[in-house]
Homo-oligomer: A and B are copies of this chain.
């Protein structure tokens, strides 16, 4: 730990900022290669069918078509869509093309042609004969005996049920004065990243494959492409120079990535494939709609005695991350509020819906919605202020949380107290609760969350860094870390500069190319700063040691007696004895005196970040419209390496979280399995104009010894507490609780009507 920081903690401008704002940054779809072809995928209009025959002859005959691929033209290797991220997810249930289609949008053939237009035309010329099969869309129905089977599994379960039993649940309920049981359901938001899925593939004459792809896990794409195509890993190079978002979904490998490579192999020409926005919705990944049944027992004085949860995740047609999000959703229900008796069961269910995958918040969004809202309800039942009730129950210093990690600060308590202060929680009764007409009701709500940085110990994580110091003391950092657009590479540069004691501008970052950067398992699980940054800090510490050893010779001092800061090495007790880093490494006559290089592997560890979100909302009781007026988001992050980046993550997460809570939902017709709003007009995302007044507070109370400079992850946290804060505020405003995301005007009006009928 460095006492005085020069680079870490500053709002350093992004390493890729100029490139991005000038339009020079190249994304996968920007790649143009001579002779390039365009690929398209033929998709099923049926939710479940046997593919009896695919006839590509008419398509092949179309002028400008260079290749048509059907099941007979592609390797028949079973693979997992989620290449590696979690052991549990590694269920191999996909072929590039299969003899069945399992959702509307499932690909079954592909073409490469001289233009996108010809490729589209060619798709229409491919004749497919289907045998329609009964389909199932609802997860509970899918689990019933006799339901149509999506894959050859019992009860459409992707993996055996996840069961967490801690303490004695019977005893817990027996101790309770009250028991509450509720069902919470969540919608099907889609990540809707700015950059559609895209890739370009090219084989060289020596059989080496280069793939430019928009992916959170270039090394994972490399590995699975090599495996399925049957070529050595060393002959596959995956490049991702810049990304326009992924939000978790782009840690999977998609059909088009295989197909693009195969079309390039078949035609001997580079091939580009870019999803339309419609394809991103249909053939991308959504969040899992989950039905959470939450039952808790509590005492009169507000102590939780038992928590029982049933978590049923609708995974859609293929595995992707269904086991992983179910596992995280279930484990996260054991955290947050102290309780000793748990009985939690999670079910990851196949249905004939579009595939649900990894999405920022990864299973926890759903269970924390239920948990926070039920806590709010219990507080109201007991007549305790919700914040006071949470303060009474949140985990804190000394408490054991999931994975046996013992907390070393009262971070949640601090977040709650600070948020309450910022929003004026305890003075809210002094403010009007409705507009003069009485139509618009105002309410306040709170939600808390905690989320782990990285996926340890569930998977063996890996991030690596290589540093090279140049002869003028500037540095090249090679990192395998993927930057989804979050500013991750900026953070890596800051960590390297700070640890080395050189200016931020002296670090140049090379990333996004599997041939030249060291292995990284991918950008997900809020792990990049924590684990990837840890690797950089470790490599930089090694390089600093080498630098100080060299400086020690030149300064005639022991290396232990030296420090390096702002590009100058000096004797700690005699700062006048100093040498610029440049002069330490320079040699005579332009020959570098010593080549300095280092490499390190980030050690995974367990850490948690924390937040409390407060929302003030207006509910129009005539239209049912919920409007978020004000949000206070207090996050404990250990150390904000770049506060601007942390704020960006939080603000973006709030925007996405408000969307998921109120407006975003990909609607699948429960009769036909067709997606009804696969476009940006009917799928409603918040724009910046829809955003409430937002106050972001960053706390650095519990720096983690396993994170670089104490930093922990912040990527997913902002999405976890905002939803319950809003839902609780709506309940506060209108006196009735809506337990379904998204909280649409229809649901609000329906709830108000039911409330009135009850009265």
* A residues adjacent to B (C-beta < 8 A): 18-19, 22, 24, 80, 83-84, 87, 89-90, 204-206, 208, 220, 223-224, 226-227, 232-235, 459-460, 462, 464, 466, 468, 470-472, 474-476, 478, 505-508, 510, 513, 515-519, 521, 587-593, 595, 597-599, 601
Contacts and interface: CB of A to CB of B under 8 A. Distances in A.
B592 A519 contact: yes
B471 A233 contact: yes
Given A80-B590, A590-B80, A478 B234 contact: no
20 contacts: A18-B204, A19-B205, A80-B589, A84-B590, A84-B591, A87-B588, A87-B589, A223-B590, A227-B590, A232-B474, A234-B472, A234-B476, A234-B506, A460-B587, A466-B466, A466-B599, A470-B519, A476-B515, A519-B597, A597-B601
Contacts of A588: 87, 90
Contact of A233 (B223, B232, B474): B474
B464 A595 contact: yes
Most chain B Cβ neighbours within 10 Å, of A475, A510, A518? A518
A516 B478 contact: yes
A22 B205 contact: yes
B83 A470 contact: no
Contacts of A510: 515-516
Contacts of A90: 588-590
Contact of A470 (B233, B475, B521): B233
Contacts of A227: 590
A234 B474 contact: yes
A220 B595 CA distance: 14
A474 B592 CA distance: 32
Contact of A224 (B478, B590, B601): B590
A570 B98 CA distance: 40
A462 B208 CA distance: 31
A205 to B, nearest CB: 4
Contacts of A22: 205
A476 to B, nearest CB: 6
Given A223-B471, A597-B599, A590 B83 contact: yes
A578 B470 CA distance: 42
Contact of A521 (B89, B468, B591): B591
Nearest to A591: B84
Contact of A593 (B460, B474, B507, B598): B460
A470 B204 CA distance: 20
Given A462-B595, A518-B595, 9 more contacts: A19-B205, A24-B205, A80-B589, A84-B589, A223-B472, A227-B590, A235-B508, A460-B587, A508-B515
Nearest to A226: B472
Nearest to A205: B22
A22 to B, nearest CB: 4
Given A87-B588, A472-B233, A516 B516 contact: yes
A481 to B, nearest CB: 13
B506 A232 contact: yes
Nearest to A508: B234
A591 B19 CA distance: 33
A478 B516 CA distance: 7
Closest A-B pairs by Cβ, 8 of them: A90-B589, A234-B474, A516-B516, A234-B508, A84-B590, A233-B470, A18-B206, A22-B205
Contacts of A507: 234
B24 A468 contact: no
A91 to B, nearest CB: 9
A327 B19 CA distance: 49
A279 B476 CA distance: 36
B18 A591 contact: no
A712 B470 CA distance: 28
Nearest to A85: B591
Nearest to A233: B470
Given A87-B589, A510-B516, A518-B597, A204 B234 contact: no
Contacts of A464: 595, 597
A667 B508 CA distance: 47
A220 B588 CA distance: 13
Contacts of A18: 204-206
Nearest to A84: B590
Nearest to A18: B206
Contacts of A205: 18-19, 22, 24
Contacts of A204: 18-19, 24
Contacts of A472: 223, 226, 232-234
A240 B49 CA distance: 54
Most chain B Cβ neighbours within 10 Å, of A22, A226, A468, A474? A468
Contacts of A476: 234, 515-516
A462 B594 CA distance: 8
A595 B466 contact: no
Contacts of A19: 204-206
B475 A234 contact: yes
A227 to B, nearest CB: 8
Most chain B Cβ neighbours within 10 Å, of A83, A475, A590, A593? A590
